Amino acid sequence: MSTNRYSAYRIMWVFVFFDLPTETKKERKAAGLFRKKLIDDGFAMFQFSIYLRHCPSRENAKVHAKRVKFSLPKHGKICILEITDKQFGNMELFHGIREVDLPQPTQQLQLF
């Protein structure tokens, strides 16, 4: 039995939700650095404090979740959520009352 490498149940999305303090210059710098590290690791902003990343497998999703954990700031609330592509496809997205299309995954080069 051959498994489909690009199954909607194998492909993953990693969401990072965060609420970071920004009252002092030091807190703003830490929040900015955390966002920069997310972007450098291939995450894209979904909403102001929600970033997401498309991953070709569960194993790859775990690697990126681990990187996020490694770069956590000292203060604030951070949540990491991993969902399958199938679950992501069931999301309904609206701007005001108008429904919009879900973001398409970016083309990524995979090296083995």
Domains, the chain, ordered by start? 12-99 (3.30.70.240)
Q: Where are the alpha helices (DSSP H) in the chain?
A: 25-40, 58-70, 85-89
Single pTM value for the model: 0.82
Q: What is the pLDDT of residue 99?
A: 86
85 pLDDT higher than 50: yes
Half-sphere exposure of 34 (CA within 13 A, CB side): 27
Q: Which residue has the higher pLDDT, 9 or 75?
A: 75
Identify the pLDDT of residue 1.
41
Number of helices followed by number of strands (H, E) in the chain = 3, 6
Residue range 11-69, pLDDT digits in tens? 999 999 999 999 999 999 999 999 999 999 999 999 999 999 999 999 999 999 999 99
